[in-house]
């Protein structure tokens, strides 16, 4: 009877661990083993040691894809944090009119299918017939190759990601703001603190954990970005929007599975380092978590 009582909770939780082992741990271990081999998806894998890693680390295309992702990060994450925090502060204000409408408006792009939004983006920013260039022509400005020039392709793609995912950022930051006690702001007001001083000295430090979480999640998303450049630009023009995620897909689609697995683990190490740095940077100065 004692043995049965002791085993009962483990029996109930065992399905989760079995599923996690089958679809989480085993694929991870298999991919790690695969990264040290040359395999095309059929036949016997050939062990190459660190050959795949050395190939990638010496490949200009690999570093170019990381550079493209880094530029996209700069264009997306800082703007999203600042804009998302500002919008969250406004939405948290109980006196704001049409607050419910704005909440729905901000989250609507996030729940809209990406392919549909990408098609709209392609039409709106078309060089010859797009709405944006039409409006530029109305004020006497020339056409701009938003998706066909290396100068504007990344900002245009980043604008799509901002439109698509900023609603998610607002939700995260709004949840952090709603956890802040109202008495804190009342005390600050009684001490004569201005709205800006309350925002900078109270709001930002108190939602620092939410900001750190958002930065980590969006860093993961940017360096894994695949669907947006694949649908909108196919990595062009001239590879200017070939992100790290799209470069990884190129190896998989070419059945170069060993190199693709090595690429994925290099991305894991890179994103882990960036996320750890972001968490340490946004950690409270007193060292508390």
- The answer to which of 13-17, 119-123, 138-142, 186-190 has the lowest mean pLDDT is 186-190
Global pTM reads 0.85
In a domain, 215, yes or no: yes
- How far apart are the C-alpha atoms of 5 and 226, rounded to whole Å? 49
Whether 37 is in a domain gets the answer no
12 found inside a domain: no
Predicted local confidence at residue 284, as pLDDT: 63
Considering the domain boundaries, does residue 100 fall inside one? Answer: yes
Number of structural domains found in the chain: 1
CATH code of 91's domain: 1.10.3720.10
Name the residue range of residue 196's domain. Answer: 58-281
How far from 67 is each of 47, 114, 226, 259, CA to CA, in Å? 30, 24, 15, 19
Q: Does residue 71 lie in a domain region?
A: yes
- In a domain, residue 185? The reply is yes
Residue 48 lies in a domain: no
Q: Would you say residue 52 lies in a domain?
A: no
Q: State residue 274's pLDDT score.
A: 84
pLDDT in tens, 58-81: 999 999 999 999 999 999 999 999
10 Å Cβ neighbour count for 263?
27
Average pLDDT over residues 221-230: 90
Q: Where are the beta strands (DSSP E) in the chain?
A: 37-38, 46-47
How far, in Å, are 67, 93, 185, 189, 207 from residue 81 at the CA level?
Answer: 21, 18, 22, 26, 11
Place of tokens 């204000």: 93
């Amino acid at each position: 009877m004692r043995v049965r009582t002791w085993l009962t909770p483990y029996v109930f939780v065992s399905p989760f661990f079995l599923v996690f082992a089958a679809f989480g741990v085993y694929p991870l271990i298999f991919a790690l083993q695969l990264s040290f081999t040359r395999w095309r998806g059929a036949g016997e894998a050939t062990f190459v040691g660190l050959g795949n890693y050395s190939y990638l680390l010496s490949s200009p295309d690999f570093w170019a894809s990381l550079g493209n992702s880094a530029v996209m990060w700069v264009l997306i994450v800082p703007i999203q944090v600042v804009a998302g925090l500002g919008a969250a502060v406004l939405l948290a204000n109980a006196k704001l009119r049409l607050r419910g409408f704005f909440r729905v408006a901000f989250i609507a792009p996030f729940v809209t299918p990406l392919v549909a939004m990408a098609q709209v983006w392609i039409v709106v920013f078309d060089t010859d017939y797009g709405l944006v260039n039409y409006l530029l022509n109305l004020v006497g400005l020339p056409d701009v190759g938003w998706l066909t020039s290396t100068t504007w392709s990344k900002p245009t793609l980043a604008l799509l990601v901002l439109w698509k995912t900023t609603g998610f950022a607002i939700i995260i930051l709004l949840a952090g703001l709603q956890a802040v006690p109202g008495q804190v702001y009342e005390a600050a007001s009684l001490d004569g603190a201005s709205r800006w001083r309350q925002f900078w000295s109270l709001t930002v430090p108190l939602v620092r954990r939410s900001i750190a979480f958002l930065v980590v999640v969006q860093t993961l998303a940017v360096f894994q970005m695949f669907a947006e450049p694949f649908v909108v630009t196919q990595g062009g023009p001239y590879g200017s929007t070939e992100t790290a995620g799209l470069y990884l897909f190129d190896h998989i689609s070419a059945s170069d599975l060993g190199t693709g697995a090595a690429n994925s683990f290099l991305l894991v190490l890179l994103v882990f380092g960036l996320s750890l740095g972001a968490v340490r940077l946004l950690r409270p100065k007193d060292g508390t978590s």
